[in-house]
Structure 1
Amino acid sequence: MKPRVRKTLLVTHVATSVSWLGADLVLLALGAAALAGRDPGEVYPAAALIGDVLLLPLTVAIWVIGVANALLTPWGLVRHWWVTVKLAITTVLLGLVFFLLTPGLREAAGAGAELARSDQINLVVAPSVSGALLILMIALSVFKPWGRIGRSGSR
């Protein structure tokens, strides 16, 4: 792959990843605001909009761009442990965003003040866990631990 194409792919990957982290932080702020007493009729529809308009497309984009980045560079998709772990985490988060978080945000938008306290807490925990995992993936990208798959300790 030409250096300009590789760098463009990498910039796109980093930009979408940072955007996902930003969306998680916004969802965390909205969830915390609702727990702190802000009007759930305003907070949860805004959170549902963030989930549908930003988080869903970003999650898909990050997965696709990450796979393309791995396949089109020497890192490979399953050549290095850190890449494989990032793929596994991203795939799990993709499923959680699609099947739990965004439906939960839509449910919260409809329920408003009637949303169960446990669901309100979940809407703070989910973006907290996701954000922590995204920061872990950033660290994996920087430190590239564990070496190559199938070779003990070599990089």
Structure 2
Amino acid sequence: MRRLSPAGRKALLTAHLVTSLGWLGADLTLLALGVAGLRGADPDVVYPAAGLLVTWLFAPLSVAVWLVGTVSALLTPWGLLRWRWVLVKFVLTTVMLGLVLLLLTPRIRHLGALAGAADAHLRVDLVVAPAVSTTLLLIATVLSTHKPWGRIRRAPVRPGGPPASRRGGRPAPGGRPGPGGTRSRAAAPAR
């Protein structure tokens, strides 16, 4: 499997952070527009603005987050199927992407086209959907920060590889932390 250089990993991490934060910001903006619409703001301004936002920013950012996150998982030591938190984030993001593209975007565009003629159910959708989405994005952020649950499965031992006691998470003396915060024998300084 191809791995990135440290500079490549940092560039990919930066892209992932920028797109993820952009998605969260667009989500919060949609939520603010929805709340403003329910509280009496001009529907001929609020709902068309939400339609433009979901079309030109929210939906593209959701695709970008999924693509950058998937590439990140595949080209870095984290992998897509090595750590439970990565897999949970991937599933969450994939479900959210599907909901954004198949349900939310068409409904909010329709709401924007109707503007002041929109019924209460459509107006409430502009509050509920971004509130749920924001919650899921915050959960993904917590998963990225705390990295819970450990590995999905242990990597097979390669011939001549480190002994089992060094694979399972006990730090090697003087080694650098690996992706899970443990130290690897290969990173230990030469004596």
TM-score band by shorter chain is: over 0.9
Tell me the number of residue pairs that the alignment of Structure 1 and Structure 2 aligns: 154
Q: Select the residue among 6, 22, 32 that pairs with 2:9.
A: 6
Map of 1:15-54 to 2, 5 A cutoff? 15-54=18-57
1:128 aligns with 2:125: no
User: 1:88-111 CA distances to partner (integer Å, 9 max, x unpaired)?
Assistant: 010011011101111011110111
Offset at 1:41?
Answer: 1.1
Give the distance between the partners of 1:146 and 1:128, measured in 2 at CA.
26
SS in 1 for 2:94: helix
TM-score, normalization: structure 1? 0.95
Q: Select the residue among 95, 98, 102 that pairs with 2:105.
A: 102
Give the distance between the partners of 1:48 and 1:112, measured in 2 at CA.
10
Structure 1 stretches of at least 4 aligned residues deviating more than 4 Å after TM superposition: none
Q: Which residue of 1 aligns with 2:118?
A: 115
Offset at 1:126?
Answer: 0.5
TM-score, normalization: structure 2? 0.78
Map of 1:72-91 to 2, 5 A cutoff? 72-91=75-94
Q: Which amino acid aligns with 2:13?
A: L
RMSD of aligned Cα (Å): 1.3
Q: Which has the larger radius of gyration?
A: 2
Structure 1 gaps of 5+ residues are: none
Identity %: 53
Structure 2 gaps of 5+ residues are: 155-167, 170-179, 181-191
Bigger relative contact order (CA 8 A; separation at least 6): 1
Structure number having the greater helix percentage: 1
